[in-house]
Structure 1
Amino acid sequence: MNKTPLLHFLFLGLFISSCSNTRYLPEGELLYTGAKIKVEGKQTSKKENKALKNQLEEIVRPKPNSSILGLKPKLYIYNLAGTPKKEKGWRYWLKNKVGEAPVFYSKVDLEYNKSVLQNFSENSGYFNTKTSADSTRKGKKASAEYTVNPAKQYKIREVKFPTDSSILSTAVRNTRRRSVLKKEEGYSLNAIKEERVRIDARLKEKGFFYFNPDYLKVQIDSTVADHQVDLIVKVKDETPSLAETPYKINKIIVYPNYSIGIDSVKNNMDSIQKYNDLTIIDPENLFKPRIFDRALYFKKEDLYNRTDHNLSLNRLVNLGTFKFVKNQFTVSDTTGNYLDAYYYLTPLPKKSVRLELLAKTNSANYTGTELNLNWSNRNTFRGAELLTISAFGGVEVQVSGQNNGFNVYRIGTEANLIWPRLVAPFKLDSPSGFVPKTKATLGYEFQNRTKLYSLQTFKGSFGYLWKESEQKEHLLNISEITYASPQNVTALYQEQIDGNPSLEKVIEKQLIFGPTYSYTYTNTLQRRKKNTFYYKGTIDLAGNIAGLASGANIQKGDTIKLFDVPFSQFVKIENDFRHYYKLGPESQIASRIIAGAGFAYGNSRELPFIKQFFIGGTNSLRAFRARSIGPGSFDGAATNTSTFLPDQSGDLKLEFNTEYRAKIYGLVKGALFLDAGNIWLLNENSEKPGAKFSKKFLNEIAVGAGAGLRFDFSFLILRTDLAFPLRKPYLADGNRWVLDKIDFGSGPWRRENLVFNLAIGYPF
């Protein structure tokens, strides 16, 4: 292929875009193309110069128009949209939401930026820095250039804290162990500000409610040595006596039915109720007092501290019953240094109805809609309990999949009751601001798979949910019961069973009961971190006690039934680990590893179908049809004689996914991804040769790759992925890598290998 025309076309596009943007400029204006900063310190190292340069580039203003490969598409769209006739409509949206107004050079203040760079450098310890500013014009464009010559940086020789014996000075001195001001580090005004805030935060934990960072000063002595400073932390002389005093808690008063704008405090003073250390003013008796005793950390005579202050507020909010939570502390009129704590709580409406229309996708590659009607009671038994009763109905179809045309229709109902405490014979003292909860669930669902069968499912569970912190969460279901019963099995499906007996597992009656536990850790909400993680571990124990007590052993023919249905007995463990590596503000690498295993014993020969592992599809291996891979090297498509392809399932699962995500333009984001994995059976299955897990399992890994677009509409993310296989585990050993077979120009290859996925949300 001749590259010359392509290069000519590229340069022509760049030239046209450049000319298009500058020809719209008003008379006398220049397009600002950005600033260049040079750091030329002869007394500083290359590493210091580079670090300083990166910091200075962030603070220069204004920023030029955004660009991609030298082009400025947002500016081009802004100009192309012209002048809208009114402040709405397509043209207005295109110009002001998608487009970007030109940044004029006339908005650049060279002297101001010069002083900003100078001040930042000196505030970072590079005293006696010299800066200069200049500009360059080229046609209708202009840029700025700043040169910074920093002197040798001043280092911290010593940090001195107050030495007098006053209560406040002693408390300040006791915080020095975790000071952010370190010997031998460079002087930094930002670090000094951070140190004042840190000391204030520590004092707040020691009862100094009225203290604030402005009552501290840090004096600088630069005469102590060559390019060294001593930092002297002092309490200002004008600090008020209130700020010098640690306080204890006296009264704790709660108004659980406070109305903003109404003097409900004065009107309800005759409705006082005492409960332990609390004074509760609730004339309508809406809430049981014990919920506030559990939520509030402060007790009478406790030393005030910011941690208990915030945890108490967080717990009140976390109850989910109050619309507004307001807190106030005042100096008590009693003898001594005491505070009275007031909590003003405005309840949400007790009962509400909500109608939801959802778009959803699932692991079986089905896409559809669901309509939910929810009724809620937020204070069912006066203990901030939440009762929710919902009814739902939906339809799911495969846009691209082996079961296209076999649509799924679902209707059902579910009731949930959540107590904001542990309804249990044991106590759990959680140090977090999250209220431990008890949850009971009852549900029913009727599912109809067109042309095949219907399935009734009854579910019930009772368990506990608690969070150690924002990062750690536990879910323990003491009992989780599932009963599934088939109905209306069609002649078509029965014919398929005759040719493929494994299909019968799907419509077997199932009775599953037992405890489940999951642990979740995540720090992905910490946006500033470069590396963030998510982990969820789950263990499912079904029928274990019942199986041991009854002596069930299916291998010996001793099968125990409840309600004429054999109960399932198994252990299943699954681990989901994710890592997110931030490359920039709008780009990252996201990776996931899933490893799971299930073992049936006692009353079961194999895991129930709904508890087995599956792989492939929109949120899994995207280069393969949903649930079509495995187990092992078994080829379900080649051996299948059914009208549709059955879901392949296994007892073991190993999956790895990684993708590069980056913003392309506006609400459009892109991704390049690689997926790998497979499932296996623990035991031999004559109907599925090659399905058993063996030491050669790595040779049976499926691999796929692809690219996709994500349209971020804020209220939902629409995802499209186009993928193709790199390795097919069902091919003969030695021929499983198919890299040499890739041919995007071939129609037959595309029809056989390209898989389009449409989904809602990110895959992980």
Structure 2
Amino acid sequence: MKTKRSIYFKYLFASGFAALSLSCNNTRFLKEGQMLYTGGEVKIKNDSLSKKERKELKTALEANLTPKPNSTFLGMRPKLYFYNIAKEPKKEKGFNYWLKYKMGEKPVLLGDVDREFNKDIIENYSENKGYFNARATYDTVSKNKRAQVIYTLRPGSRYLISNVKFQKDSSLVNKEIQDLSGKTFLKNGNPFDLDVIKNERDRIDNGLKERGFYYFHPDNIIVQADSTISKNHKVELNVKLKEDTPDLSTQQFSINNVIVFPTYNIQDVRAGKYKIPMNTDSLAQYAYKDIYVIDPQHKFKPKIFDRALYFKKGDLYNRTNHNLTLNRLISLGVFKFVKNEFIVSDSLQHKFDAYYLLTPREIQSLRLEALGRTNSANYAGSELNLNWTHRNFFRGAEQFKAAIYGAFDFQMGGPENAKNLFRAGTNVQLSIPRIVAPFRFSSSSAFVPRTNITLGYEFQNRTEYYTLNTFTGSFGYVWKENARKEHDLKIFDVTYVSPANITALYDSISAKSDAMRRVVQKQLIFGPTYSYTYTNTMLSKPTTIYYKGTLDLAGNITGLVTGANVKKDKEKTIFGVPFSQYAKIENDFRLYHKFTEKTSLATRFIAGLAYPYGNSEHIPFSKQFFSGGSNSVRAFRARTLGPGIFDPRTIEQGYYFDQSGDVKLELNAEYRANLYKFLNVAVFADAGNVWLINEDPDRPGAKFSKEFLSEIAVGAGVGLRLDFSILILRLDLAMPLRVPYYEKNDRWTFDKINFGDSNWRKDNLILNIAIGYPF
């Protein structure tokens, strides 16, 4: 056995070494006199700079060098190798073209490097950072047809700011600039930095835009630097308005008329069918408060614009209200394009009219969706959805959505008595673009708050077992503080489950399991729910986070009124149905870190707890936690993991039911890399489980205890992701590394891995096929 393994590793080593040698030996493809450019390096000669300053300057300078050498992977240049071995294609298609110009990369030669240009770049960049006496030289180091260019920089001393002056004059715009000077980015003692000066000009421009100077531009500001006053490497800065600044840029404007065209169409404008009233007399018939809404066909109620527009007649122009108004108009969801124009109507009084040209979306739409799916629990199925949307239901940008759907899931192997599943239902939602409440709710957010009302019904049939009728309804609010923070409060959220057609077969099976009997019990769940979401994943930062916390309270007030909170022998009911009482909290935290443009690490931690009390001894099945499957611990089949160390092998052979819990802990980590355009790969590890709050005699070991850490399941695997923009097809192959229901000292499975055994592969290699990323 040892001999075979030794031969195997020798063969593997020899193959790897051969591949490494081939991909590294790209210089053999070079012509006579050509040299492969391997990159540039900047060396800094200055003893006065700190280690941190030298490192930052060196990194920035090397990033500006051109061209970039051929890309490398573990010291090799595989893309260059593909280019070299591929034949020159005769056409711009076919395998050779793909290998040479898509997978491959043209060699970057020393002759492609303009060393004088790079030297100038180094000196100019250094001067912009305050090294006014910077001088650079370069040298070329070559060996074995490879060449590197070494640039040596002698930056001299860095100039520091000794004084900052904002030059005064008698103009109104200068007075405002003086008021803004207190928060300047230019500080005495800081190094001279051209980027900071540019940011200071933008800061002044933004401040003036908030104070009515609509036509001002950063280029109207000049910052003069004088390094001759002091001999100690100091520089004085003088911030002033340019002498040739246009007069319009120095005027402070206020709003005269606010005019909205909610049915604007560029095609009508081009055809000459569209006319803009340009005087107050012709606008009078469209007046609503201080707004003119040009809507002859009365397609929209004018008051929706009164809520969305932040500018009123007589207001001083400011950029914040400008942007807020545009964002709120877009977030109404009824307009496809939103265009804004300011036209001077009174040049003497410095006033302009604000025009909002709004192009509506299709008011109604009908969409048919057909979906196919499969999961790791040996089920495959399909779903058909018919969705109708009306985006202006009561002429106030209310969105009304109605849907009917049908779905079925059938077995593909696995337990023979798991039975097929059929679902059909309908749901409707009315979303109103304001808070409908007896109290006043004001928001300065760029996002319109919404009141949502939903109703739904679903028929579910598990063949030969039972039928469930589920009725749902909710009333609540959704609002966003900003692009990062969102709140979702359902003041009333109700679910009523009514079983029907429970077969004798299911009765006989469920007689042995209290958990299975609860699946077909009548359930009445109602109460408030609240969720808070924070995310900055839309930012172009190397590290971003996502968090969602959810709180679900069922029957709490009703429990107080009926006395259900006090332990009684008999459950309290409403219309003959016991109502549920519990408190449930769930936290979902994700962290994403980008190493390069093509590699990243995604992690997720989930912690959830559901606690029954008062009128309930158990959490309703539909509100419990589940583990396993394509978006959870992928080494275990969907909803089969847990609870605790309960052994699913003890379930009567041939029967399969979802395993649920009241406590959930889960941790996932996934390293993602892009191989080629739409082709991505991943290596992942998942850990987690669910537990019960109370003992269940039918499922020994399911209760949460202080031993929970030793009951965590662990799995790992590799994945392939095909990113086609409109959808991401994901294939994840995982295997368990730690199985919680094994003997306590034998839960790790490394010694049981046997890829050569077909039975082991069948039981332990789990393929998950899904749409989208798992988190």
Distance of 1:402 and 1:129 partners within structure 2: 76
Secondary structure, counterpart of 1:111 in structure 2? helix
Show the counterpart of 1:310.
323
Alignment match, 2:432 = 419
1:758 equivalent to 2:764? Answer no
Which residue, 94, 115, 133 being the options, matches 1:128?
A: 133
How do residues 25-424 of structure 1 correspond to structure 2 at under 5 angstroms? 31-78=36-83, 82=87, 87=92, 96-136=101-141, 142-164=147-169, 166-223=171-228, 224-261=230-267, 262=269, 263=272, 266=275, 270=282, 272-333=285-346, 336-358=349-371, 369-396=382-409, 406-424=419-437
Does residue 439 of structure 2 align to residue 430 of structure 1? no
Q: Please, what TM-score do these two structures have when normalized by structure 2?
A: 0.90
Question: Secondary structure of the equivalent of 1:217?
Answer: strand
Percent identity, aligned pairs only, is 54
Residue 318 of structure 1 deviates from its aligned partner by 0.9
Shift of 1:403: 8.4
Distance in structure 1 (CA, Å) of the matches to 2:376 and 2:399: 30
How far apart, CA to CA, are the structure 2 residues paired with 1:682 and 1:487? Answer: 29
Structure 1 counterpart of 2:522: 509
Give 1:676 deviation, angstroms. Answer: 2.6
In structure 2, the gaps of 5 or more residues are 1-5
Mean Cα deviation higher: 680-689 or 540-549? 540-549
User: What is the 5 A alignment of 1:652-731?
Assistant: 652-731=663-742
1:349-397 CA distance string (max 9 Å, x none): 2222223344567797866553333222221211111122223334446
State whether residues 616 and 628 of structure 1, in contact with CA within 8 Å, keep that contact through their aligned partners in structure 2.
yes
CA distance in 2, matches of 1:519, 1:724: 34
**Alignment partners' CA distance in 1, 2:243 and 2:427:** 64
Deviates more, 1:736-745 or 1:597-606: 736-745
CA-CA distance at 1:335 after TM superposition = 5.4
Shift of 1:130: 2.0
Q: 1:391 to 1:254 in 2, by over 3 A?
A: same
Name structure 1 gaps, 5 residues minimum: none
Partners in 1 of 2:359 and 2:286 — Cα distance? Answer: 18
- Cα distance between partner residues in 2 of 1:480 and 1:339: 48
Give the partner amino acid of 1:460: G
| In structure 1, C-alpha distance between the alignment counterparts of 2:623 and 2:596, rounded to whole Å | 39
TM-score, normalised via structure 1 length: 0.91
Q: Is the alpha carbon distance of 1:439 and 1:641 closer, same or farther for their aligned partners in structure 2, counting shifts above 3 Å?
A: same
Return 29-38 or 230-239, whichever deviates more. 29-38
Q: What is the Cα deviation at residue 700 of structure 1?
A: 2.8
Higher mean displacement: 251-260 or 356-365: 356-365
Equivalent pair of 2:415/2:654 in contact (CA under 8 Å): no
Distance 1:21 1:717 in 2: 39
Of stretches 437-446 and 38-47 in structure 1, the one that deviates more from structure 2 is: 38-47
Aligned match for 1:541, one of 550, 553, 563: 553
- SS in structure 2 at match of 1:584: coil
Query: Following TM superposition, by how much is the alpha carbon of 1:211 offset from its aligned partner in structure 2, in angstroms?
Result: 0.8
Is the CA contact 1:496–1:643 (under 8 Å) kept in the aligned structure 2?
no
CA separation of 1:394/1:244 partners in 2, compared to 1, >3 Å: closer, same or farther? same
State the Cα distance separating 1:641 from its structure 2 match. Answer: 0.7
CA–CA distance in 1 between the matches of 2:408 and 2:560?
Answer: 41
C-alpha contact (below 8 Å) 2:375/2:638 kept by paired residues? no
Moved more, 305-314 or 202-211: 202-211
Q: 1:478 to 1:144 in 2, by over 3 A?
A: same
Question: Aligned in 2, Cα 1:378/1:209: closer, same or farther, shift over 3 Å?
Answer: same
Shift of residue 410, structure 1, vs aligned partner: 3.3
Deviation at 1:217, TM superposition (A): 0.8
Change (3 A) 1:523 1:365: farther
Q: 1:44 touches 1:150 (CA, 8 Å); kept in 2? A: no
C-alpha spacing 1:693/1:305, structure 2 compared with 1 (3 Å): same
- Contact map agreement 2:27 2:146 (CA 8 A) in 1: no
Q: Return the offset for 1:139.
A: 5.8
Q: 2:588 aligns with which of 563, 568, 576?
A: 576
Q: Give the 3-state SS of the residue equivalent to 2:125 in structure 1.
A: helix
Structure 1 distance, partners of 2:188, 2:377, is 59
1:251 maps to a residue whose letter is: N
Q: Quick one: distance in 1 between partners of 2:530 and 2:545? A: 20
Q: Contact 1:319 / 1:384 at 8 angstroms: preserved in 2?
A: yes
Change (3 A) 1:396 1:303: farther
* Residue type at the aligned position of 2:592: Y
Q: Does 1:468 align with 2:481?
A: yes
Secondary structure of 1:598's match?
Answer: strand
Shift of residue 289, structure 1, vs aligned partner? 0.4
- Alpha-carbon distance change, 479 to 173 in structure 1, aligned in 2, over 3 angstroms: same
Q: For residues 430-465 of structure 1, give each alpha carbon's deviation from its aligned partner in whole angstroms, at most 9, with x where no partner exists.
A: 221101111222223333445544433222222211
Shift, 1:466, TM fit = 0.8
Q: Structure 1's 267 and 532: CA in aligned 2 closer, same or farther, altered over 3 A?
A: closer
User: Is contact 1:365–1:618 with CA below 8 Å preserved after alignment?
Assistant: no
CA distance in 2, matches of 1:415, 1:603: 31
Contact 2:27 2:145 survives alignment (8 Å): no
